[in-house]
Structures are given as C-alpha cells and as structure tokens.
Amino acid sequence: MSHHRIALEAVGFTYPDGTAALADVSLEVTHGESVAIVGANGAGKSTLLLHLNGVLLATRGRVVVGDLPVTKDTLPHVRRTVGTVFQDPDDQLFMPTVFDDVAFGPLNLGMPEAECRDRVQACLEQVGAWHLRNRPPHRLSGGEKRRVAIAAVLAMSPDILLLDEPSTGLDPRGRRQVIELLRGFTHTKIVVTHDLDLVLRLCPRTVILSEGRVAADGPSKRLLADAALLERCGLEGPPEALVCPRCGDGSRL
C-alpha cells in the first residue's frame, strides 16, 4: 500500500473571482518524508494546502493521494488519509469541550464509542493534554489549543499530516514543545510555514513556492542558505542558516 504518497501533477487553480493562485505545480511526497512548503505571502501556499486535503479541487492537472486522484467521489478516502492541522486552532476546535473535539473525527468515521474513548485518551496523552479533556477550548492557552488540535487530527489516524503554520502565535516554550512533538511523529508530514527555523528543525526537504510555481525543491539546508534564491522568492533566511555564510552549513542541530 502506498497510502502515504501524495502527488501534484501540473496543478493549476484559479479562484472564482479570477485570481490565479496556482499556475503549474508538480510535486511528489513519499512515505515518511517531512517536507516544508515555504514562500512569501500570496505565493500560493495556503491554496496548495487546501488542494492536498480536497477542500479545493484543482481546475487544471490533478492531485493524487495514495493511489486515488482527489475528486468529489474520493473525498472520504482523502480525508481519512490526510489529517489537516489548521493555522488557527479556534477554527479547528469547534466542539464545546476538548474531549468532544478529539472524539469528533473518530465518531464520524464510525468508530464504536468504547474504542473511541480509548483513542481519545491515547491521542490526548500523546500530546500531553489528557488533563485538559473537560475544558472548553476558550479556556486553553495558545500552546494547549495547538496540541489539542494536533491530537484531534491524530485521533483519525491519518497517514499524512498537513500542518498550516504550526508555530504561529506560540510563545518560545510552546513553539519548542510543538516542534519536539512533531519531530516524534513517523507520519509523512507536509508543513506550510513562514518559520524557516522550524523548517530546519523539522523538515529535511523544502519546496519554495513563488507566484504559484515551484521555484525550488531540494534539501532544506542547501535551499535556506542560498541567499540569492531566497531573495528572489521574497524570503529571508533563518538566523540559524546564517551562522556560517562561508560553508553555508545551516545545521546547528
């Protein structure tokens, strides 16, 4: 089974209002990879992400998750395979308590209640948030919300994790905890982010988007140390990548 594979084949997308967000994107992510998608504001990152979980359907080309192209008919399969952690946890934690929220996905997949209860507990323990289970989401800190949102996605046992700006709005400790948590996962990971330091810690491979196209695709250490490339794509290198400009080695870790 190659459930963990995800591929975009010459994908183009134009919003109904005429904005062309993706021009021509081809990209393949295979089992166990951890890939960062970076790019300046408006480069098409979010649009790309919404194609990977089937919220948007490509107007040109196609997206393949596992062995199946993403179409209306394959959406249930796509959503079971791909778990999305959205940028704003308040959008994602829509149930009245942490427990209910984590149980939401598995119950929709038809999991029996007893099994679901165990699953919820396992996932909340995995992110260190079991003690928060009875809290309403509006009584959680930013870091707690983020971890619960991750647990809610893990509860559906996806093969592929999509993470949209997982470090936004977190204090340094919360950010470090989330990065450590994500490093521990063996899932195929696709991370859309502006946080290039997080990229170096989490993703060996980086895809740089610029104006709806893939501007570069390669090892994170090399791409993020390439000042000319970053400049061309409207990005700025992380401090870690600039530690040693001579050897271009961004691996402080």
Binding site for another protein (CB under 8 A): 50, 53, 55, 76, 79-80, 82-84, 86, 88, 90-97, 99-100, 103-105, 107-109, 113, 116-117, 136-138, 152-153, 156
Minimum distance from residue 238 beta carbon to another protein (Å): 28
As measured in angstroms, the least distance from the Cβ of 55 to another protein is: 5
**What long-range pairs does 102-110 form, CB within 8 A, spacing at least 24?**
102/133, 102/148, 102/151, 102/152, 102/155, 103/155, 104/152, 105/152, 105/153, 105/155, 105/156, 106/155, 106/156, 109/80, 109/156
Dihedral, CA atoms, 33, 161, 181, 154, nearest 10 degrees? -140
Cβ atoms of residues 157 and 135 within 8 Å: no
CB of 120 to another protein, least distance (A): 8
C-alpha distances in angstroms, 250 versus 146, 163, 225, 238? 27, 23, 7, 9
**Cβ of residue 138: shortest distance to another protein, in angstroms?**
4
Query: What are the residues facing 29 on neighbouring strands?
Result: 6
Question: How many Å from the N-terminal Cα to the C-terminal Cα in the chain?
Answer: 34
Q: Please say which residue, 68 or 107, places its beta carbon nearer to another protein.
A: 107
Shortest distance, CB of residue 198 to another protein, whole angstroms? 22
Look at strands 6-14 and 20-29 and give their pairing: antiparallel
Q: Supply the minimum distance, in Å, between the C-beta of residue 237 and another protein.
A: 31
Number of residues assigned to the chain: 253
CA–CA dist 151, 130 (Å, integer):
10
Rounded to whole angstroms, the Cα distance separating 132 from 140 reads 8
- 69 CB neighbour count, 10 Å cutoff: 16
For another protein, which is the closer residue by CB, 90 or 236?
A: 90
13 has which bridge partners? 22
Q: In the complex, what is the shortest distance from the CB of residue 174 to another protein, in angstroms, rounded to a whole number? A: 19
